[in-house]
Chain A
Amino acid sequence: MNKTINQKAWYFVIPVFVLVAFNAAIPLMTVVNYSFQETFGNNVFAWEGTRWFKQILLSERFHASLGRQFAFTFIILLIQIPLGIAIALTMPKKGWGVPVCLILMSMPLLIPWNVVGAMWNIFALPDIGFLGHSLNAMGFDYNFTQQPGDAWFTTILMDVWHWTSLVVLLSYAGLNSIQPAYYQAAEIDGASRWATFRYIELPKMKKVLTLAILLRFMDSFMIYTEPFVLTGGGPGNTTAFLSIDLVKMALGQFDLGPAAAMSLIYFFIVLLVCWVFYNLMMKNEAQS
């Protein structure tokens, strides 16, 4: 049979192509463009090669903000993942409690990010905020606008409040997909609660947890709005995470070249970590 040759189908791809071009490719190319050149305004460019990349990679300021970023992400993952699983385990599996819990859990996720920042800013103010005032009344010397430790504490607490729900919802979905017979089998074996969790629930939740960790890693690694509104990166630079530092450099100092180089490096770090993590998890998956 002769195939009819008809290439018209390619036209259907055009909208996606245009969308992706304007959405991702063109803005990204602009950044690439800036990262290799010096700009003088008025569209005057001078070729700089890899100078900005070298400058960023060797700068102490970048090392410091990258370090802070990894520390922050690591801490919130360390809190949110176990906490999320723990909450999911205690949530009811049937009855009226289910919708109540699910709605309560989704609430923080529905609040706009800058509102979360503003909320926590006011909540934590040492003189009038409920949290700040209470802590001080209890005798703690708490002031997140002046003490780096307090600023970190507040930022982490805010992120935990905002995002643990996501881990809870994913874990809850994972837990609900386990057939009751598994629990009965464990019960008959005389398995302890911990053994049931370790050998049934955890392996069965592996896929959703991988997803949860990936999502939480990416989001927290790119966090901007909430700490910007809460602390503005302060006091000093102590809570200036990568994206805050990047915006400072790009819009505050108008160092467009180094900022572009930094955003590309930033982008590759996120990509690399996700890729490595995903492959590690899936490698184990293929084995089991």
Chain B
Amino acid sequence: MSLELKNVEKKVGIDTHIHPTSLKLEKNTINVLLGSTLAGKTTLMQIMAGLDKPTSGEIWFDGKNVTGMKVQKRNCSMVYQQFINYPNYTVYENIASPLAITGVKNDEIKQRVGKVAELLKLSAMLNKKPDELSGGQQQRTALARALVKDSDLILLDEPLANLDFKLREELREELPKLFEDRDCIVVYATTEPSDALMIGGNTATLLEGKVIQYGKTLEVYNRPENLISAKVFSDPPMNIAEITKSGDNCKFTNNDVQWKSSAKIKDGTYKIGIRPHNITTYKEGNNSVEINGKVQISELSGSESLIHFTNGSLNWVSLSNGTQQKNVGEDTKLYMNTDEFLYFDQNNRLVNNG
């Protein structure tokens, strides 16, 4: 069982929402679609589900061409960013609805709803209506509706975006476990790189209707094929600077910071990408270099410190562990872990990652 998009393209009027895309999702995988708003995640999901038809290209499922096949015949389920439940059905009836429509017997419905409700901690509120539940519970109900039928394809369209922080963390941890023993393909759309890392599986990075890279989540994160993919999969945003390399010596074009690189690449000018957590207020790794900066913004985020600073004409973002207090305007020293630098050539392709 696999879901394959073959050169799928979606145009609406003169706007291209999805550029020709080919993507193959395997059975028993969780696939994250990662990209900002308007990257085409939802459109892509709707095409996968059959809610929307591609302008050109084909969709194959389980070795069959299902392009244009209606969603009702596809055995898929979907969870939305908004909490979508039937307003005057109880939680039980809501979860049971996909089964009831397909004519499953009452005993079996009861048993299956009970099981899913337990999994999603909804057992105590089966007789309540969606209005009486908290946002988290409403979304759990929607998730339960998606899980109760044995779908081949489960689509989750930013399911956690409307939840508050704590609920989001909680549900995000549970989500991958929910799909562990299921015989299905899960697609999960999100704008947050941290979601993708937490969920694991595979990730496709998207920008402006194009799939930039698809592969194992950690691989895409550690070895982004190109600068765009690296940018999409980085939060806070990746630092990018131009460097020149001659022999083993590397040097930023804009300042005097130098380091030795063992990267097996030709001499010349490159762009490097440095993730914020590789610029820290303390030394990390064996090959760190010092950089001077003037603090622009210093903020704490949980137990991490985010420091924006300037060096020459460049703006940098750094992310350090612990609470590092810096004053705005202060001159400070930071350390860059050169082992983690990503080198991109003039065509923005990754040439080596350290």
Contact = CB atoms under 8 A, between A and B. Distances in A.
Interface of A: 179, 181-182, 184-185, 187-191, 195, 199-200, 203-204, 288
Contacts of B78: 184-185, 188
B14 interface: no
B346 to A, nearest CB: 44
Interface stretch (B19-27, B86-94, B271-279, B304-312): B86-94
Interface in B221-258: none
A288 B133 CA distance: 11
B98 interface: yes
> In the complex, which of the residues B78, B88, B131 has the most CB atoms of chain A within 10 Å of its own CB atom?
B88
Contact of A188 (B76, B88, B89, B131): B76
B78 to A, nearest CB: 5
A7 to B, nearest CB: 44
Interface of B: 46, 49, 51, 71-72, 76-78, 80, 82, 84, 86-89, 97-98, 101-102, 129, 131, 145
Nearest to A189: B98
A187 B72 contact: yes
Contacts of A191: 97, 101
Contacts of A189: 97-98, 101, 145
A200 B97 contact: no
Contacts of A288: 87-88, 129, 131
A151 B261 CA distance: 98
A9 B341 CA distance: 70
A191 B149 CA distance: 14
A187 B51 contact: yes
Nearest to B142: A185
Contacts of B86: 199-200, 203
B101 to A, nearest CB: 5
Contacts of B51: 184, 187-188
A71 to B, nearest CB: 31
Contacts of B84: 179, 181-182, 185
A36 to B, nearest CB: 49
Given A185-B84, A190-B98, A200-B86, 19 more contacts: A181-B84, A182-B84, A184-B46, A184-B51, A184-B78, A185-B80, A187-B51, A188-B71, A188-B78, A188-B98, A189-B98, A189-B101, A190-B101, A190-B102, A191-B97, A199-B86, A199-B89, A203-B87, A288-B87
